[in-house]
Structure 1
Amino acid sequence: MPYIALEDHLPGITGLLEYSKGTAQPIRELTQFLLRGPSTLTEAERELIATVVSYGNECTFCTTAHTAAADLLAGDAAISAKVKQDIDTAPVSHKMKALLKIASLTRQSGKSVTADIVQQAKNAGATDVEIHDTVLIAALFCLYNRYVDGLGTALPADPDYYNVLADRLVNHGYTRLPQGYDHLKK
């Protein structure tokens, strides 16, 4: 049960973003830009960064939501599962493995990211912008994970909620739906 009064039909982050639309707007805009804006990283790769960070932070809602979005974007559920198990053996490029390691280190502490791991990413073909965006996405999802878990948000009653959410994230992005979320009431 959430620690503050949230709408029952909006589990996880959605309830929090609806609760405080003023603080939600800049967070949504940053997330939309980083995960859906122009980038040399695919949307699926950026969702994998969110997945790895959320998984490492043990945030069930965010891990499940971004795993579903990454799976939908990649068209392959095995990739995110393998990335969560072991980045080194996951079926992603060497560049992506290096970036996911940077994301994981950022999750632990910004100071865990070393010049050596950054150089490894550069040697694997990562650009300065990709490294920058990886660290920023990782930091942003640490914020989300702590926001969701720190206020004890509810998990959805129906596990299919995550597939609906993934479809919304893939097809609408991270901006607020123009009509709001009343249509999700049962």
Structure 2
Amino acid sequence: MAHIDLGVDEKRFPGIIGLRMYRPETAKPLYDLADALLRAPNSLSRGERELIAAYVSSGNECDFCRDSHSAFAAAQLDGGLRLVRDACVDPDAADISPKLRALLRIAGAVRVDGRSVTTELVEAARGAGATDVEIHDTVLIAAAFSMFNRYVDGLGTVVPDDPAAYEMSAQVIVAHGYSA
């Protein structure tokens, strides 16, 4: 049970979904931001951007965001859930591109503290082929998901224990986005 009464069945509307229903006026800009960061046209695929969100959420130990964005990434990446889990545990050993690996290092630094992003991390990402827009978007995804993680966990929202719940949500998100 969440720390506050969300006025919804939290089993049916877990995590940020219940929070969206509780305060739709604050949820709308958050969902619009998620759409802009994770679904808008970009040189990084939607699956890669979802993987960055899952990686940051994993590092922040936010179970709801980790599991949901892992499912969303898996639905859009050839390696599926195994690849996503491997990348969240150890990007250096995961079967991902050097560019994505370098971007995950930047995302991990942002997750700890934005000032942890160093010139060396940025130059390594550029050396692996990342553009300045991709570096920018990685930093913003990592910062936004650190906020989303704290929002979901700070209010003690319910986390589904059935992985199928995330797979069903993935189908909706992949087809329609976050703001729909």
Q: TM-score range by the shorter chain?
A: over 0.9
Matched residue, 2:2:
2
Q: Does 1:144 align with 2:139?
A: no
TM-score (norm 2): 0.95
The equivalent residue for 1:39 is 42
Residues 1:30 and 2:50 aligned together: no
d(CA) in 1 for partners of 2:4, 2:172: 25
Matched with 2:111 is 107
Structure 2 counterpart of 1:118:
122
Where 1:92 maps in the other structure, the secondary structure is coil
SS of 1:160's partner is helix
Q: State the shift of 1:19 in Å.
A: 0.8
Structure 1 length-normalised TM:
0.92
**Within 2, Cα distance between the matches of 1:156 and 1:172?**
22
Q: Which residue of 2 aligns with 1:16?
A: 19
The whole-number CA distance in structure 1 between the counterparts of 2:28 and 2:85 is 31
Between the aligned partners of 1:63 and 1:33, the Cα distance in structure 2 is 19
**Per-residue deviation, 1:158:** 3.6
The within-5 A match list for 1:29-68 is 29-68=32-71
Q: Matches of 1:85 and 1:27 in 2, distance apart?
A: 27
Q: CA deviation at 1:159?
A: 3.2
Q: In structure 2, what is the Cα distance between the partners aligned to 1:163 and 1:21?
A: 24
Give the SS at the match of 1:87.
Answer: coil
Give ranges in structure 2 of 5+ residues lacking alignment.
none
SS at match of 1:61: helix
The question of 1:77 aligning with 2:81 is answered yes
Per-residue deviation, residues 69-93 of structure 1 (Å, max 9, x unmatched): 1111114222101101211111111
Any idea what the Cα deviations from partners look like across 1:10-63, whole Å, max 9, x if unmatched? 000100011111111111111101100010000000000000000000000010
What amino acid is the match of 1:29? Answer: D
CA distance in 2, matches of 1:116, 1:50: 22
Structure 1 letter corresponding to 2:73: A
Match of 1:156 among 153, 157, 160: 160
Give structure 1 stretches of 5+ with no counterpart. 177-186
- Once the two structures are overlaid, the 10-residue window that deviates more, 70-79 or 132-141, is 70-79
- Between the aligned partners of 1:36 and 1:161, the Cα distance in structure 2 is 21
- Tell me whether 147-156 or 158-167 shows the greater mean CA deviation: 158-167
Q: 1: distance between equivalents of 2:19 and 2:76?
A: 25
Matched, 1:130 2:134: yes
Structure 1 residue 157, shift from structure 2 partner = 5.2
Whole-angstrom distance in 2 between the partners of 1:158 and 1:72: 17
